[in-house]
């Protein structure tokens, strides 16, 4: 009997590709569905990559049936908060409506397990120092709202069917594969560590601090930064949990402590060994002063034990990847001229 398949939507993207790499290392039968709008085929060289979209019901139905899929890991989404504010319908169409299509196909195919890539943006601007899974979800931008609506659909489908799920609400994901095989190649990235490392290697002239007057020790916003490899491992453990009969649940994915923007930029300069140009700007609307996970539940439920809870290490893997991308770009330019 053929091994059951795992469909990974958006699996050629930043986080999805790290999860796929870990799945492949444990001999799972993996099918990646990605339209490559933000993902890269070379991020999943050993996986079965199907170029397509979750809005294509015929394609999704075919994949679920052809590969006897019993598990879906759903990463496919737009994730840029300012863009979601400027073009909200783009986010509701892709993140919410396309998730509806995917869930409809899963229900028809009898998919048993679903792991959903969600976000701490569902909490909006929390009033407490640490955010628990029970903190009210009051998103302040279309990105967070689009993800929360998908959470609701998944919850309600689970209650009406045999599908069980784990929703993982990510905090600030950073870093790259320590072995340098894959990393964050996102075009026009907005995540602080990625942006700062791009500035360090000369891809950007400067990096901005948005707000220096927050009620925090150094006046800049505080975030919970989690290494992408630890986050990917949480997905592997979530899969094991569901296959062992675990009940549907929603879990925060963070380390449980935060760093300020200034602390992050100090770390980048320290690891890089040279200063980077930093420019102060006013606050951006909707940015909370502090967003840090209460992260005990993910440890209790999944048995998750993070390995890379070290800011300098996170920065080092990010910086190494930026140097690798820089060398690759230079070689491509030389090849194009020859």
In whole angstroms, give the CA distance from residue 191 to residue 38. 15
Residue 126 lies in a domain: yes
Separation of alpha carbons 17 and 183, rounded Å: 8
Q: Is residue 145 part of a domain?
A: yes
Side-chain-facing half-sphere of 23: CA atoms under 13 Å: 30
137 and 74 share a domain?
Answer: yes
**Enzyme catalytic residues:** 143
pTM of the model: 0.95
- For 333, the domain range is 192-223+257-291+308-337
CATH code of the domain in which 41 resides: 3.40.50.720
pLDDT reading at 30 higher than 60: yes
Same domain, 69 and 126: yes
- Alpha carbon 313 to its chain centroid, in Å, reads 19
39 Rama sector, left if φ>0, alpha if ψ -120 to 50, beta otherwise: beta
In a domain, 243, yes or no: yes
Residues 27 and 144 in one domain: yes
Residue partners of 163: CB distance under 8 A and separation at least 6: 106, 107, 111, 112, 113, 114, 157
Are residue 123 and residue 215 in the same domain, yes or no?
no
**In-domain check, residue 143:** yes
Evaluate whether residue 282 is within a structural domain: yes
State whether 40 and 135 are in the same domain: yes
Question: Looking at the domain assignment, is residue 300 inside a domain?
Answer: no
Query: Which pLDDT tens digit goes with each residue over 241-298?
Result: 999 999 999 999 999 999 999 999 999 999 999 999 999 999 988 788 999 999 999 9
Q: Return the pLDDT at 286.
A: 77
Specify whether 97 is located in the same domain as 142.
Answer: yes
The pLDDT confidence band at residue 328, using thresholds 50, 70 and 90, is: confident
pLDDT score for 329:
77
**Total domains, the chain:** 2
**Is the domain of 201 the same as that of 85?**
no
Q: What is the CATH number of the domain that holds 328?
A: 3.90.25.10
| Residues 151, 76 share a domain | yes
Which pLDDT does position 26 carry in this prediction?
Answer: 87
Tokens of 89: 């319908």
pLDDT score of 15: 97
The answer for residues whose C-beta is within 8 angstroms of residue 121's C-beta and 6 or more apart is 81, 139, 141, 143, 144, 147
**Do 234 and 137 belong to one domain?**
yes
Q: What does the pLDDT look like over 196-238, one tens digit per residue?
A: 999 999 999 999 999 999 999 999 999 999 999 999 999 999 9
In DSSP terms, 8 is beta-bridged to 32, 73
- Evaluate if residue 18 carries a pLDDT over 80: yes
Does residue 85 lie within any of the structural domains? yes
202 and 135 within one domain: no
């Amino acid at each position: 009997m053929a091994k059951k398949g795992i469909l990974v939507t958006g699996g050629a993207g930043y986080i999805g590709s790290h999860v796929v790499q870990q799945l492949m290392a444990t001999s799972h039968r993996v099918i990646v569905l990605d339209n490559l709008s933000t993902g890269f085929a070379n991020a999943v060289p050993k996986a079965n990559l199907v170029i397509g979209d979750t809005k294509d019901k015929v394609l999704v139905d075919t994949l679920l049936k052809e590969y006897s899929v019993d598990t879906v890991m759903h990463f496919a989404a737009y994730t840029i908060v300012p863009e979601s504010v400027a073009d909200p319908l783009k986010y509701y169409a892709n993140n919410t409506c396309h998730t509806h299509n995917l869930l409809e196909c899963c229900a028809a195919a009898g998919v048993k397990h679903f792991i959903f890539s969600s976000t701490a943006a569902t909490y909006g601007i929390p009033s407490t120092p640490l955010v628990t899974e029970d903190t009210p979800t009051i998103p302040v931008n279309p990105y967070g709202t689009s993800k929360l609506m998908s959470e609701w659909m998944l919850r309600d489908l689970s209650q009406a069917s045999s599908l069980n799920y784990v929703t993982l609400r990510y905090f600030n994901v950073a870093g790259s594969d320590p072995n340098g095989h894959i990393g964050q190649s996102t075009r026009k990235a907005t995540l602080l560590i990625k942006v700062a490392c791009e500035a360090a290697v000369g891809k950007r002239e400067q990096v901005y601090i948005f707000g220096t007057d927050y009620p925090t020790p150094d006046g800049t916003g505080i975030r919970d930064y989690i290494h992408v490899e630890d986050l990917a491992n949480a997905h592997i453990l979530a899969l094991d949990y569901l296959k062992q009969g675990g009940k549907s649940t929603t879990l925060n994915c963070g380390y449980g402590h935060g760093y300020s923007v200034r602390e992050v930029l100090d770390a980048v300069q320290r690891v890089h060994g040279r200063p980077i140009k930093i420019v102060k700007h006013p606050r951006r609307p909707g940015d909370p002063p502090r967003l840090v996970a209460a992260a005990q539940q993910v440890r209790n439920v999944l048995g998750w034990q993070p390995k890379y809870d070290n800011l300098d290490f996170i920065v080092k893997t990010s910086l190494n990847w930026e140097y690798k991308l820089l060398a690759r770009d230079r070689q491509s330019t030389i090849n194009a001229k020859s």
